């Protein structure tokens, strides 16, 4: 056994000792150099793209440098003795991020295609061409007939000014990852976190899957997206994707077709939590969040949505597809929906949606449907349950039911002017003692405005099994028994 262990150790040491650290400096480098020290740095992306990198290699760009063209590195890391040995891209030195300008010369400024075990951070990426172009991206990660593409981490990237096509069938994107081709090509363990996207068209961070595969281990976390032309964040073709702690400020700013803030498509068990979405324009969707079709058991919790012209939430499916068992709980919505929109929209044949323990604030200038149900491709909503929510209305709301069936409203608070409100035997019209309704601003911390100052008996609602374990503010929920209505589990 000692000999076997020593053999493994020798093999592993041999692999890691052969790894190299390569340097790139567009100001002082030379492509004839070896690249293996700052003094021997390469100069161009063209030289980088000819290198086949090995497990453990590092590719470092000097801070403050700038490059034009496409970065398309080759080679893959590997799993060695059960642990991933990755290839890393990073910066060296002190100063601004190294910047790569696609200038519209290539479809993708930074392309990782059919390679795996890469960890990339601290790059600035743009792709601003003279004219818009279909499928133009800043960063594109592609598994194309490759099979499972493992372990891609994108961190601390600044991606901005990408003028892709604004039409959904040809949409450009800031950070894009796509699965296509044979061998059930897909991703396993793909993480996008702590990135900043600004002025990316059409979308921000989006996935596209066109071969029917399902990626796993997809995490989109702590990213800031600003001034997005269309959709904000969209996982497509995943099992258990996690989208959390992202901020999307300003969406559907330039496109003319439908777009929303954060939404899964063709995903099961998506978890969307602790995100803030605001400033979506227009009413072709235009909501902060969307539980879209070909999805089952999506959970949206602890999110903050405000000032989205299309409303707070869309749940939708055409009649020939499905969107089932969505849970929308412990979210805050403030000033969502202009008068031609709605706060909640149920489009088509969605089934078994549970909306519980949310706090919804409607401002004094708003007059719109709070719940709007509509038929889509002969599909109509069934078995919608709305329980333990606070609907605090200072303007006016209405309700549209269309041909929806088996809607159950229970233990909700309907404060203000509700025209045609639903039957709710245990509902209340009293004014809930919120700290400062309508007083939240930007940032999750500002939503303390929706904490309760007291808890009269009429604010005790129904018990809900598997309610998430905590309220919006992090307080634990009782293991059994009734819950406080709204997002704040009040405890004396």
- For residue 458, list its beta bridge partners: none
Residue in the block written with tokens 């743009």? 126
Smallest Cα–Cα separation from 192: which of 219, 232, 172? 219
3-state secondary structure at position 65: coil
pLDDT of residue 18: 87
Residue 432 near residue 392, CB atoms below 8 Å: yes
pLDDT of residue 445: 97
pLDDT of residue 8: 39
Residues 196, 44: Cα–Cα separation, whole Å: 25
**Dihedral angle at the C-alpha atoms of 105, 134, 190, 25, nearest 10 degrees?**
10
Angle value at C-alpha 252, between 250 and 257, nearest 5 degrees:
175
CA atoms within a 13 Å half-sphere pointing along the CA-CB vector of 6: 3
Smallest Cα–Cα separation from 61: which of 121, 116, 141? 121
Q: What are phi and psi of 12, to 5 degrees?
A: -65, -45
Residue 160 near residue 123, CB atoms below 8 Å: no
- pLDDT tens profile 159-178: 999 999 999 999 999 999 99
Residue 270 near residue 240, CB atoms below 8 Å: yes
DSSP state of 210: -
> Residue 242 belongs to what H/E stretch?
strand 242-244
Structural tokens at position 388:
């333990």
Residues 126, 329: Cα–Cα separation, whole Å: 37
CA atoms within a 13 Å half-sphere pointing along the CA-CB vector of 135: 12
pLDDT of residue 46: 98
Q: How far is CA 348 from CA 236, 268, 288, 308, in A?
A: 20, 19, 19, 22
Structural tokens at position 108:
């993708």
Smallest Cα–Cα separation from 153: which of 123, 179, 128? 123
Q: Please tell me the pTM assigned to this model.
A: 0.96
Residue in the block written with tokens 């262990």? 5
Q: What are phi and psi of 43, to 5 degrees?
A: -110, -35
pLDDT of residue 492: 57
Is the link from the previous residue into 202 a cis peptide, with omega within 30 of 0?
A: yes
Residues 433, 447: Cα–Cα separation, whole Å: 15
List, in order, residues 6 or more apart from 43 with CB less than 8 Å away: 24, 25, 26, 29, 30, 31
Residue 180 near residue 144, CB atoms below 8 Å: yes
Residues in the chain, pLDDT under 70:
1-17, 492
């Amino acid at each position: 056994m000692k000999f076997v262990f020593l053999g493994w150790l020798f093999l592993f040491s041999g692999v890691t000792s052969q790894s190299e650290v390569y340097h790139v400096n567009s100001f002082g480098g030379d492509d004839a150099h070896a690249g293996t020290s700052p003094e021997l740095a390469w100069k161009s992306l063209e030289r980088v793209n000819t290198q086949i990198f090995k497990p453990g290699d590092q590719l470092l760009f000097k801070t403050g440098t700038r490059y034009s063209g496409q970065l398309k590195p080759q080679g893959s890391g590997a799993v060695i003795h059960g642990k991933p040995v990755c290839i890393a891209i990073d910066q060296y030195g002190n100063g601004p991020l190294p910047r790569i300008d696609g200038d519209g010369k290539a479809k993708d400024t930074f392309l990782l295609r059919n390679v795996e075990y890469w960890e990339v951070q601290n790059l600035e990426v743009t792709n601003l061409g003279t004219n818009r172009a279909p499928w133009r991206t800043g960063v594109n990660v592609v598994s194309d007939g490759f099979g499972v593409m493992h372990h891609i981490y994108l961190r601390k990237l600044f991606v901005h000014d990408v003028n892709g096509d604004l039409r959904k069938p040809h949409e450009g994107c800031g950070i894009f990852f796509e699965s296509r081709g044979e061998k059930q090509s897909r991703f396993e363990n793909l993480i996008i976190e702590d990135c900043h996207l600004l002025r990316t068209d059409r979308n921000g961070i989006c996935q596209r899957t066109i071969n029917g595969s399902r990626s796993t281990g997809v995490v989109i976390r702590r990213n800031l997206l600003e001034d997005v032309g269309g959709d904000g964040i969209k996982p497509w073709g995943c099992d258990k994707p996690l989208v959390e702690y992202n901020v999307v400020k300003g969406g559907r700013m330039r496109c003319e077709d439908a777009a929303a803030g954060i939404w899964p498509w063709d995903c099961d068990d998506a978890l969307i939590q602790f995100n803030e979405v605001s400033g979506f324009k227009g009413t072709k969707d235009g909501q902060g969040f969307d539980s879209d079709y070909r999805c089952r058991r999506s959970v949206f919790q602890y999110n903050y949505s405000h000032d989205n012209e299309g409303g707070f939430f869309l749940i939708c499916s055409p009649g020939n597809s499905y969107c089932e068992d969505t849970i929308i709980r412990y979210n805050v919505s403030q000033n969502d929906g202009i008068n031609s929109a709605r706060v909640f929209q149920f489009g088509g044949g969605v089934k078994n949606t549970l909306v519980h323990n949310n706090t919804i604030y409607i401002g004094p200038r708003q007059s719109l449907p709070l719940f709007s149900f509509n038929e889509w491709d002969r599909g109509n909503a069934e078995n919608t349950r709305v329980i333990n929510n606070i609907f605090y209305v200072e303007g006016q709301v209405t309700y549209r039911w269309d041909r929806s069936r088996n809607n159950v409203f229970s233990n909700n608070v309907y404060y203000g002017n509700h025209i045609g409100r639903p039957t709710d035997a245990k509902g209340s019209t009293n004014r809930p003692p919120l700290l400062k309704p309508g007083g939240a601003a930007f940032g999750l911390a500002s939503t303390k405005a929706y904490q309760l100052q007291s808890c009269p008996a009429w604010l005790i609602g129904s018990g809900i099994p598997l309610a998430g374990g905590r309220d919006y503010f992090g307080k634990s929920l009782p293991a059994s028994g009734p819950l406080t209505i709204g997002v704040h589990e009040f405890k004396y």
